[in-house]
Amino acid sequence: MGQQYLFYNGTVITMEEELYAEAVLVEDGIIAGVGSFDTLLGQTAADVKKVDLNGRTLMPAFIDPHSHFSAYANSLLQAALDETVNFEEITEKIQDFIKKKQLPKGQWVVAKGYDHNALAEHAHPSREVLDAAAPDNPVIIQHKSGHVGVFNTAALELLHVTEDTKAPDGGVIEKKDGKLTGYMEEAAFMKYLKEIPMSSVKELMEAYEKTQKVYASHGITTIQEGMMVDQMLPMYQGLMQSEMLKLDLVGYVDVNNGSELMREFGENPREYRNHFRIGGYKIFLDGSPQGRTAWMRTPYVGDDDYCGYGTMTDEAVYEAIKRSLEENRQILAHCNGDAASEQYLRAWEKAANDGIWNPDARPVMIHAQLVGVDQLPRVKKLRMIPSFFVAHVYHWGDVHMANFGKARADEISPASSALKEGILFTFHQDAPVIEPDMLETIWCAVNRITKKGVLLGENERLPVLEALKAVTINGAYQYFEEDKKGSIRKGKRADLIILDKNPLAIPPEEIRDIQVLETYKDGVQVFRLED
């Protein structure tokens, strides 16, 4: 008999049919028993470690259905622009970063997190603004959505981008009066972002360690690397050699730029090696609604013709799906707009008509911000899993009302409609777009209040229990791990969290104030909130 832990004297939310239990017994990282304290106590060894909950709540740890682990780590090495309100503050943040880091002339400056919707100028900074901020350094700033950004003149020159450079399909290199503004969108921005020199391996390993602690502090024990490219291979070789990972990490590889990663790590998409596995492929079908690049079936407010745009042809989407099915790998598709959702649905329907559909493929529609309620029956028929970025309701709900009108914005992240349709769904934060704060996300799904206090989509509000399922047992199902994670049941991994309050027993508006006190991965404490 190995090391045992007995959790007792609190509320235990199992996320199983029998929702509550009195105590939980853990042995060697596995849940060995769930039931009454007296019964489980009789099954323990003399050296059992008793964990007194003192009236607090024990429940399954949260599962992150979509984020970007490496991007979050990199963000810790970049200038943070998240709270900036105008171009002047952006300039000050960049200059402070250069001074603090003592960056020499010619070294790249990478900054992230600005949101033109929140700036006084209601515009993206130009390259001239960035030139003035850092006249001796190449600079790139990334929008909070992650899909667009701005380069200064020195950066454009180093990347060999001129007025004659043609943007790749599905991207924009902006010009005004024939001159580069420095602003790029989607495929163009992503192309040149990849060409920026990476931080040192030592800096990245330290940032990975900090990032893992952030996720654990939010009660998350399974994380996603939502878009992997071959350029990341050395970083992941370093991660595996260091055996640094204590949380489980599932990676999804760019279908067009991940062959080396697949050869190195992709031999078995269901088995972890040092807490890491490649789960399948990832494709991008459009941009972001707050950046007005999401691909819509109807035009944006204020523009009778503009509907955003897609990033892949129908044929390319179908071939990616076909490849995933042939290799028996899961595929995740970034779809924000309903036109992008339509393209993804059509491609899967073609696969079904062609006789290559696997009913247990569990394809995921990432974000599904503006998937139409009228499209949900087809989502169900294809057994597709929408992973809603439901925290958009709070963070950008007011922007979405301006972009789409109140009625259309009311249906953003239609989780309640999906529930009525019998569709299994999950929730995510797309970190580092926002923090990987599951309790805030649950609060958003249950209350649906914007930053300005507007109730957005009352009919799409969820019961608290259903919101909890989206980040526990449903998340486990999305990863094909429902037999190992997502609930407190005998035989499952002891991935557990202790909360200071029971989210099912407090007013819904207080959910985001709940604190994660402790996080356990495989029965080992990986986070404890300091007193």
Both 433 and 303 in one domain: the answer is yes
Upstream peptide bond of 432 is cis (omega within 30 degrees of 0):
yes
User: Per the domain annotation, does 36 fall within a domain?
Assistant: yes
Check which CATH number belongs to the domain holding 305 and give it: 3.20.20.140
Check which CATH number belongs to the domain holding 516 and give it: 2.30.40.10
Both 477 and 494 in one domain: the answer is no
Both 225 and 306 in one domain: the answer is yes
pLDDT at 1 over 80: no
Beta bridge partners of 30: 27, 493
pTM: 0.90
Return d(Cα 447, Cα 464) in angstroms, integer.
9
Return d(Cα 198, Cα 349) in angstroms, integer.
40
pLDDT at 531 over 70: no
**Percentage of residues in the chain with pLDDT exceeding 70?**
100
Domain count, the chain: 3
Q: Average pLDDT, stretch 36-52?
A: 92
User: Per the domain annotation, does 71 fall within a domain?
Assistant: no
3-state secondary structure (DSSP) of residue 288: coil
Both 400 and 289 in one domain: the answer is yes
What secondary structure does DSSP assign to 352-419, as a single string? Answer: HHTT---TT---EEEE-TT--GGGHHHHHHTT-EEEE-TTHHHHHHHHHHHHH-HHHHTTSS-HHHHH
Q: Average pLDDT, stretch 284-301?
A: 94
> Using 50, 70 and 90 to split pLDDT, how confident is the model at 146?
confident
CA distances from 27 to 3, 48, 137 (A): 6, 9, 55
Both 481 and 492 in one domain: the answer is no
Answer whether 488's CB lies under 8 Å from 31's CB.
yes
Neighbouring residues of 302: CB distance < 8 A, sequence distance ≥ 6: none
State the pLDDT at residue 488. Answer: 98
Answer whether 93's CB lies under 8 Å from 80's CB.
yes
Q: Average pLDDT, stretch 273-301?
A: 95
User: Per the domain annotation, does 315 fall within a domain?
Assistant: yes
* 3-class SS string, 17-34: CCCEECEEEEECCEEEEE
Both 267 and 220 in one domain: the answer is yes
The pLDDT tens digits for 371-401 are: 999 999 999 999 999 999 999 999 999 999 9
User: Per the domain annotation, does 73 fall within a domain?
Assistant: no
Beta bridge partners of 527: 519
User: Per the domain annotation, does 347 fall within a domain?
Assistant: yes
Answer whether 336's CB lies under 8 Å from 292's CB.
no
Return d(Cα 273, Cα 129) in angstroms, integer.
46
User: Per the domain annotation, does 176 fall within a domain?
Assistant: yes
pLDDT at 6 over 60: yes
Both 169 and 183 in one domain: the answer is yes
Segment among 221-225, 236-240, 338-342 with least mean pLDDT: 236-240
pLDDT at 82 over 90: no
3-state secondary structure (DSSP) of residue 283: strand
Chain centroid to Cα 208, Å, comes to 16
425/170: higher pLDDT: 425
Residue span of the structural domain in which 315 resides: 202-485
Both 89 and 20 in one domain: the answer is no
pLDDT at 326 over 80: yes
Q: What is the DSSP letter of 117?
A: G
Return d(Cα 510, Cα 501) in angstroms, integer.
10
Both 476 and 516 in one domain: the answer is no
Go through 136-146 and write b for each residue having 16 or more CB atoms within 10 A of its CB, e for each that does not: ebbbbbbbbbb
Mean model confidence pLDDT for the chain = 94
The pLDDT tens digits for 447-457 are: 999 999 999 99
Neighbouring residues of 284: CB distance < 8 A, sequence distance ≥ 6: 186, 227, 311, 312, 333, 334
Answer whether 394's CB lies under 8 Å from 449's CB.
yes
User: Per the domain annotation, does 391 fall within a domain?
Assistant: yes
Choosing from 143, 178, 195, the residue where a domain stops is 195
| Torsion sign over Cα 466, 470, 471, 474 | positive
Both 158 and 275 in one domain: the answer is no
Q: In what order do the strands lie in the sheet with 496-499?
A: 20-21, 11-13, 57-60, 496-499, 516-521, 524-528
Choosing from 167, 195, 223, the residue where a domain stops is 195
User: Per the domain annotation, does 69 fall within a domain?
Assistant: no
Both 163 and 308 in one domain: the answer is no
Alpha helices for 421-472 (secondary structure H): 438-447, 464-470
Choosing from 195, 215, 241, the residue where a domain stops is 195
The tokens of 388 are what? Answer: 């809603």
Both 260 and 370 in one domain: the answer is yes
Check which CATH number belongs to the domain holding 162 and give it: 3.10.310.70
Q: Average pLDDT, stretch 48-58?
A: 96
Q: What is the DSSP letter of 93?
A: H
The pLDDT tens digits for 150-163 are: 999 999 999 999 99
